Amino acid sequence: MKTIAVLGTLDTKGIEHAYVAEIIRSRGHRTLLIDVGCLEPPVIMPDISREKVAVAGEVDLVGLRARQDRGESVTAMAGASAKLLEQLVAQGRIDGVISLGGGGGTAIGTAAMRALPIGFPKVMVSTLAAGNVAPYVGTKDIVMFPSIVDVNGLNRLSRVLLARAAGAICGMVEVEPPVAEDKPLIVASMFGNTTQAVNIAKTVLEEAGYEVLVFHSTGMGGRIMESLIESGMISGVLDITTTEWADEFVGGVLGAGPTRLEAVGKAGVPAIVTPGCLDMVNFGERPTVPEKFADRLFYQHNPQVTLMRTSPEECEELGRILAEKVNAYTAPVTVLLPTKAISVISAPGGVFHDEAADTALFESVKKHLKPGISCVEMDAAVNDEVFAKACAEALLKNITVAKAS
């Protein structure tokens, strides 16, 4: 028997949360009803009152009630809910969490869920689940379950959907993940244009006794990888694909934010870094490309993805950014430059081959790197076996040096 937190605004969504709790209990699990409303009295009796939630987050609930500001209330209770759930998980009191809501309820519920570890069961039934959920999910494994109809009472459709959501969280807590052999972890960044390189390097690292987690460099992938590095779980970083910085700097759609490449320095983790796929900026379908880029070189990767070649000027600045991020690293790091090609399509004869742009990138990296940081130029393409193995071997060497120091 597991205990599942049923968290929500029990003043406006009490009946719906009570229904979900009833379904969960019918499956043989315990529930912990948590009230995070604060404007009207709850319509059902919670196990943890809003007053206790407010105390966990040091929220002035009396003041919130007096001001009757819905936006302020949502923000305050979101923070308090996160603190409370963190405490409940640390105390071993809950095994999963489910919440239901519209805009405000989703903001509160997902804020609380984002405070929980990856792998902890989390389900958010939301009116917003069919749209852009990135701000709500962040870098965590929150299951966004579309409510289809508004979370506003029980009817022939909502009963079915809420029951399915309740079944989902029950199934999640009932399944115990298999216990894997504990191997030291390495994270790697990959794109379609660097898949071969990462796969080759991954094999070398696995043969050396490491488990390699590969992240797709699509913005969210980079953010999640950075968060794992900061968590202290990681033994090494194979950052072959730093392409997200091209989108971040130029204005594409797959940027990972201005802190991409900073977690390694904060965590003091051994690493290798290459300028993989800094030749490309990502956009959606061709008509979505901003008009200011109309005269640039493009490649239609697929109907939904349009790639734009970075210019020599952009590459020079990207080289500076890459170098300055690496300059902050405190553990052993090696920068490797594949001078023949930084992606499949930038190789000689490829649509993005641009010797001037690549040269500007490489020279800028070397110019701005601090003395003492290892920088290796190789007459190879990023996906050549010799380069991929060199990346893996350099990382293994850096890990060994870090352990010895």
Which of 187, 372, 374 shows the shortest CA–CA distance to 267?
Answer: 187
Sign of the Cα torsion 327, 330, 332, 333 reads negative
Other Cβ atoms closer than 10 A to 284: 13
Same domain? For 259 and 399 the reply is yes
Same domain? For 161 and 207 the reply is no
Same domain? For 154 and 195 the reply is no
DSSP summary character for residue 295: T
Same domain? For 208 and 256 the reply is yes
The answer to whether position 180 is within a domain reads no
Last residue of a domain, one of 121, 144, 174: 174
Residue 287 token pair: 């008509």
The domain that holds 205 is classified in CATH as 3.40.50.12030
- Measure the CA angle with vertex 187, ends 184 and 193; round to 5°: 145
Last residue of a domain, one of 147, 174, 201: 174
Same domain? For 119 and 197 the reply is no
125 alpha carbon, distance to own chain's centre: 20
Same domain? For 110 and 9 the reply is yes
The answer to whether position 179 is within a domain reads no
pLDDT at 201 over 80: yes
| Residues 6+ away with beta carbon under 8 Å from 376 | 334, 335, 336, 337, 390, 394
**Which pLDDT band holds residue 374 (cuts at 50, 70, 90)?**
very high
pLDDT digits (tens, 9 = 90+) for 41-96: 999 999 999 999 999 999 988 888 888 888 898 999 999 999 999 999 999 999 99
Which of 127, 91, 94 shows the shortest CA–CA distance to 110?
Answer: 127
- What's the structural domain count of the chain? 2
The answer to whether position 254 is within a domain reads yes
Same domain? For 261 and 331 the reply is yes
**Which pLDDT band holds residue 177 (cuts at 50, 70, 90)?**
confident
The answer to whether position 362 is within a domain reads yes
**Which pLDDT band holds residue 180 (cuts at 50, 70, 90)?**
low
The answer to whether position 197 is within a domain reads yes
- Measure the CA angle with vertex 154, ends 150 and 158; round to 5°: 55
Last residue of a domain, one of 143, 174, 205: 174
Interval 360-383 mean pLDDT:
97
Same domain? For 190 and 143 the reply is no
Q: Rounded distance, CA 147 to CA 8, Å?
A: 15
**Which pLDDT band holds residue 393 (cuts at 50, 70, 90)?**
very high
Q: Rounded distance, CA 287 to CA 174, Å?
A: 46
Does an H or E element contain 378, and which?
Answer: strand 374-378
Q: Which domain holds residue 90?
A: 3-174
Side by side, the strands of the sheet bearing 122-126 are: 30-35, 3-8, 96-101, 122-126, 143-146
The domain that holds 21 is classified in CATH as 3.40.50.12020
Same domain? For 147 and 222 the reply is no
Q: Rounded distance, CA 215 to CA 244, Å?
A: 12
The pTM (predicted TM-score) of the whole model is 0.79
Whole-Å CA distances, 53 to 70, 266, 270, 279: 17, 32, 41, 49
pLDDT at 249 over 90: yes
Task: Report the pLDDT value the prediction gives residue 102, as an integer from 0 to 100.
Answer: 93
The answer to whether position 283 is within a domain reads yes
Residues in the chain, overall count: 405
Does an H or E element contain 358, and which?
Answer: helix 355-368
Same domain? For 62 and 139 the reply is yes
Same domain? For 223 and 342 the reply is yes
Same domain? For 20 and 167 the reply is yes
Round the average pLDDT of the chain to a whole number and report it. 95
The answer to whether position 360 is within a domain reads yes
pLDDT digits (tens, 9 = 90+) for 118-161: 899 999 999 999 888 989 998 899 999 999 999 999 999 999 99
The answer to whether position 347 is within a domain reads yes
Does an H or E element contain 33, and which?
Answer: strand 30-35
How would DSSP label each residue in 232-270? Answer: T-EEEEEE---THHHHHHHT-S----TTTT-HHHHHT--
